[in-house]
Amino acid sequence: MAYSEKVLDHYENPRNVGSLDVNDPNVGTGLVGAPACGDVMKLQLRVNDQGVIEDAKFKTFGCGSAIASSSLATEWIKGMTVDQAMAVKNTQIVEELNLPPVKIHCSVLAEDAIKSAIEDYKKKQGARGGKDQVA
C-alpha cells in the first residue's frame, strides 16, 4: 500500500506525542477505539482561561494512517477555541492526508478523540462549577 507524503511525514515526525496530567482540571482526555480492532487513540488537550486550547498531545496504537490522523488533529486544534475544535470534521482530515477509503475509519477515530477529550474537559469544569461554562 502506498502512503501519501503527508501521512509519511506525520508518521515519521509525529507532532505532539506525549501525555498531559490527567488530574489537571484544565486538561481533557479522550480515549477511543479498541485494542481488538487494531486502533486506540488517546488525545489530550489543555484549555486556558480564555477557552483556547493551548496544548494538545496524543498517543496512538494503530496503523500509520491512525498515527498521522491523530498527529494532525493535535496540530490543528492547538490555538483553536473549544467550540472550533468541536467542529473539526473527519472529512477535513481525510482530505488533508489523502486517506484512501479503507483508512477513513482512522479519521473518524481522530474526530471522536477530539470530541471525547473536550467532553471530558467540560465534565471536569462542570464538576468544579467551572470558570467557562460559556457554551
Partner 1 sequence: MAIKLPIYMDNHATTPLDPRVLDAMLPYLRDNFGNAASRSHAFGWAAEKASEDAREQVAALIGASGKEIVWTSGATESDNLALKGAAEFHKDKGNHIVTAQTEHKAVLDTCKRLEKEGFQVTYLPVAEDGRVRPEAVAAALTDKTILVSVMLANNEIGTVNPVNEIGAVVKARGCLFHIDAVQGVGKIPFDVNAARADLVSLSAHKMYGPKGVGALYVRRKPRVRISAQIDGGGHERGMRSGTLNVPGIVGFGVAAEICRRELSVEGPRMLALRERLRQGLQSQISDTFVNGSMEHRLPGNLNISFAFIEGEAMLMALKDVAVSSGSACTSASLEPSYVLRALGVEEEMAHTSIRFGIGRFNTEEEVDFVIDLVARKVKKLREMSPLYEMAQAGIDIKSIQWAAH
The closest of 40, 44, 4 to 22, measured between CA atoms, is: 44
Asked whether position 73 contacts partner 1 by CB under 8 A, the answer is no
Q: Which cell goes with 110? A: 481522530
Q: How do beta strands 27-34 and 39-47 pair?
A: antiparallel
Q: Which of 45, 106, 108, 117 is catalytic?
A: 106
Sheet with strand 27-34: strands edge to edge: 27-34, 39-47, 53-61
For residue 89, give Cα distances in angstroms to 20, 114, 130, 134.
24, 10, 27, 22
Supply the minimum distance, in Å, between the C-beta of residue 35 and partner 1. Answer: 4
39 binds partner 1 per the rule CB under 8 A: yes
Taking the C-alpha atoms of residue 95 and residue 7, their distance in angstroms, rounded to an integer, is: 11
Q: Can 63 be counted among the known catalytic residues? A: no
Q: How many CA atoms lie within 13 A of 85 on its CB side?
A: 34
Q: Which of residues 98-127 bind partner 1 (CB under 8 A)?
A: 102, 105
Distance of alpha carbon 110 from alpha carbon 88, whole angstroms: 10
Given 10, 42, 78, 124, the residue binding partner 1 (CB under 8 A): 42
Q: Examine residue 30 and tell whether it contacts partner 1 (CB under 8 A).
A: no
Per CB under 8 A, 32 contacts partner 1? yes
Selected from 19, 48, 91, 98, the binder of partner 1 by CB under 8 A is 19
**Contact call for residue 36 and partner 1 (CB under 8 A):** yes
Q: Is 37 considered catalytic here? A: yes
Binding residues for partner 1, per CB under 8 A? 1, 3, 11, 14, 17, 19, 31-42, 59-64, 66-67, 102, 105
User: What is the set of active-site residues?
Assistant: 37, 106
